[in-house]
Every structure is written in structure tokens, then in C-alpha cells.
Amino acid sequence: MHSTVTRIAGKILALTALFLVSSVAQTQSLSVTAYPAVDKIIEAAIPLWKKKHPDVEIKLVSRSMEDHHKAMSTALSTSSNLPDVMALEFGYLGRFAAGGGFEDLAQPPYRIGDVKSRFVPFAFKQATTAAGAIVAAPTDIGPGTLLYRVDVLKKAGVTEAELTQSWDSFVASGVKIKAATGAYLVAHARDIKEIMIRSNVKPGEGLYFDATGKVLVDSPRFVRAFELSRKVRQQKLDGKIGGWSTEWSQGFKNGTIATQMSGAWLAAQMASWIAPTTKGLWRASQLPEKSWSAWGGTFYAIPKAAKNKALAWEFIQLMTLSREAQLSAFKVQDAFPALLEAQTDPFFDQPIEFLGGQKARLLWREAALKINAIDVNKLDPIADEIINTELDKVLDQGKDIPAALADAKSLIERRVRR
């Protein structure tokens, strides 16, 4: 009797142990942090992940873009609450990379440089530090484009060629548009500066600093951007309307803003929630003067303190090197693929209904291949704030442009020396 009870108890203990081991295996997880709409892209890729790792759960934490990057900045500085994989928007890449908190993906066991040729060149280089470390893998990009209201241009007798031939012809077209329709050429004169300082950046340069850390804001690129922005304001061709405001979206809906320059992703946002009632009234073109420029982009990084680095690297490879995952993100969330082999899909040849049936993805693919990489610097956000303040002084107070840029350079250099 005693031996029978002992035998049964032993079996129960063995089964309990087996259940506990199985439960541990089933509850293994990979933590990933992101922001909209990257979170939706990750969720859509989970079935692909499960095919390879059915026992590994993706634990996704999503916050608004600003809250996400604030939380990740805190996590990196304190080495606490860090995920295994962190999504980053391009604008934050420089300051995050400078902290040295990420794995160098150029080194073993990652060796991402071995697949460099599979990525759009400019996107890959954006994640490369001056020391040669690759701190993140690019997953989507934002080729610059000009969106314009075709009905407004037609009423003003302005052609696309006239609008985009040069920056001077762009402004001249705005004069005709304002006279004939009352519509503003752009929402805010600052929009001109935003694109122009990002256009045709020389290899080895960033927006505000060169590879040696020299401040570039008094260069011809900035002078011309400030001059053109001032010209737009002086001729009353902008509505002084801030981006992402109610007035901004209303201007697109009612045709009082004729054009908007941004990343190609804006067309999808216009169609889905900013101005869906204007379907068919917009077209896309290359930027004036063929000013090849990028706006935004998403990257994945692995914190040095991550607990599951091998799985994190597998996840990043899925999101960045899988043609299927890249195309899914593009088709569902309009995340333009950084992976070159995803850009050969017939989807690029399909007309876009919101743009009047235009095959605009072909334009954006052309732009993506011609954009020069922009090096990032940890002080980019500070430089951006200083430049915007000085531009406002030029636009609103009549400050002299050379003086404004000289003051901006001095202020930025002071921050560099700290």
C-alpha cells in the first residue's frame, strides 16, 4: 500500500515538474517597444514570427511617439526597464546613438554590414556613427515628395512642370495661384526651409554638422533656404499655419493650401484621416529642382542591457530583411521599404486612388535611390530649435539673414563646447 502511494506521488511530482518546465517554455517572451503605426506593423508580423518561434511571445509595448522616445531615453540612461528591441524614429537616432547604449550591429554575431547591399544606401548609412558603429537597422524610409492640389493649379493655369522646375519657379507659381484662387502656396514658410536644408546634402555631412563636428548653418544651403522662406512670407504666399493643427488639415480639405512637401508617407495619412474627402484632387511630384530629400524613417536597435539579444537579432532580421514582412508593412501601413528587393514588387506599379490613379510609388522609388545619406549628430535637435528660432526672427521681425545664421552658429557652437 505504501509503495503504491509512493509510486503515485512520484508520478504526480514528475507530471507537475513537466508542466512547470512546459509552462516556462511557453511563456518565454521577447519585449519590443514601439509607437504608432510601427506597433501595427509589428502586430501584423507576429504570425511570421510564430512560424519560426511558436514558443516565444512578442510582448509589445506601444506609446505615442514622443512618450515612447522619452521613456526609452530614461530607460537607457538608467539601464532599467529596457526592451530587447527598440524602435526609433530617425529624428531621435543621433542623440540616442551618442549615448553608447546600443549594440554595434556591425560586430559579431550580428555582422549587418554583410547585407549592406540589400538596403537603400542612404538609410543604411544614417544608422552608422562616425566611428563606424552601426547602432540600428533601417526598416522604412520617407522619400521626400511634393503633394499638390491639381484642381487649384488648373484654376490658376499652373502646370506641374512650372511648379517644380526650380525653387524660383515654385515661388512664382505661388504668386499666380494666390492671385487666381486665393490659396496659399504652402501652409508655413518654414516648410520651405525644412525641405531645402535636407536636400542634396553632401556625402559626409549632416543637417547641421559635418563629420568633424563643424557647424554648417552658415553654409549656402541654409542661406538659400532662409532667403526663399523669407520671399514666400514677403509675398504672402504662406498662411502661417503650423503643421498638424486643425487649421492645417482644414486648409487641405477646402483647397486653401495648394501644396505640401513632406515624406511620401503623408499621402497615405491625407487619404486615411487628414483630408479623405479630397480623394482624387491631389497629385505627387518630385520636389522642386529635383531636390532629393528624405523625411523620417524607422529603425530597430538592441540595447546593450537587453536580456534576449539572440532572439532580438532574429526579430530585427525578420522585420528588415524579410521581403514578405517589408511588403506587408508597405501595403497595410504605407511604410516605404528600406529593403531593395521589396521595391521590385508589382505593388509599386499600382495606381493610388487618392492621387487620382497616379502611380506615385514609382516616383518615390526613384527618389529613394538618389537621396544622399544625412549623418546624424546628438545635438541635431538643439540645432534645429535654434535654427527655427532664428528663422522666425527673420520672418516675423525682419532680422537680417546673415546675422540670424551667424547668431545661430554661435549659439550652436556654444552648446558643442559644453
Q: What is the CATH number of the domain that holds 127?
A: 3.40.190.10
Query: pLDDT (tens digit, 9 = 90+) per residue, 120-152?
Result: 988 888 888 878 899 999 999 999 999 999 999
Mean pLDDT for 218-241 is 97
Question: What pTM, to 2 d.p., does this model score?
Answer: 0.90
Mean pLDDT for 206-220 is 93
Render 64-131 in DSSP notation, one character per residue: -HHHHHHHHHHHHHHT-S--SEEEEEHHHHHHHHHTT-B--TTSTTT-GGGGGGGB-HHHHHHTB-TT
What is the percent of the chain where pLDDT is above 90? 82
- What confidence category does residue 372 fall into, taking pLDDT thresholds of 50, 70 and 90? confident
On whether both 330 and 385 belong to a single domain, the answer is no
On whether both 132 and 202 belong to a single domain, the answer is no
Residue positions counted in the chain? 418
- What confidence category does residue 27 fall into, taking pLDDT thresholds of 50, 70 and 90? low
Q: Is residue 82 part of a domain?
A: yes
Residue 120 CB neighbours (<10 A): 25
Q: Is residue 34 part of a domain?
A: yes
Compute the distance between CA of residue 59 and CA of residue 49 in angstroms, rounded to an integer.
12
Range of the domain at 404: 192-219+379-418
Residue-level pLDDT at 50: 97
Compute the distance between CA of residue 173 and CA of residue 57 in angstroms, rounded to an integer.
55
Compute the distance between CA of residue 392 and CA of residue 253 in angstroms, rounded to an integer.
27
On whether both 385 and 334 belong to a single domain, the answer is no
Query: pLDDT (tens digit, 9 = 90+) per residue, 319-346?
Result: 999 999 999 999 999 999 999 999 999 9
Residues near 321 by beta carbon (within 8 Å), at least 6 away in sequence: 115, 118, 339
Q: Is residue 333 part of a domain?
A: yes
Strand spans (E) along 282-373:
282-285, 294-301, 336-337
Q: Is residue 149 part of a domain?
A: no
On whether both 33 and 134 belong to a single domain, the answer is yes
**Mean pLDDT, the chain, whole residue set:** 92
Q: Is residue 331 part of a domain?
A: yes
Residue 378 Cα distances to 20, 100, 250, 415, angstroms: 47, 11, 35, 11
Which of 361, 405, 368 lies closest to 386, judged by CA? 405
On whether both 312 and 386 belong to a single domain, the answer is no
Q: Is residue 325 part of a domain?
A: yes
Residues near 10 by beta carbon (within 8 Å), at least 6 away in sequence: none
Query: pLDDT (tens digit, 9 = 90+) per residue, 14-24?
Result: 444 443 344 44
On whether both 327 and 408 belong to a single domain, the answer is no
Domain count of the fold of the chain = 2
Task: Give the three cell numbers for residue 245.
Answer: 493643427
On whether both 33 and 105 belong to a single domain, the answer is yes
Q: Is residue 308 part of a domain?
A: yes
Q: Is residue 185 part of a domain?
A: no
Residue-level pLDDT at 375: 82
On whether both 211 and 306 belong to a single domain, the answer is no
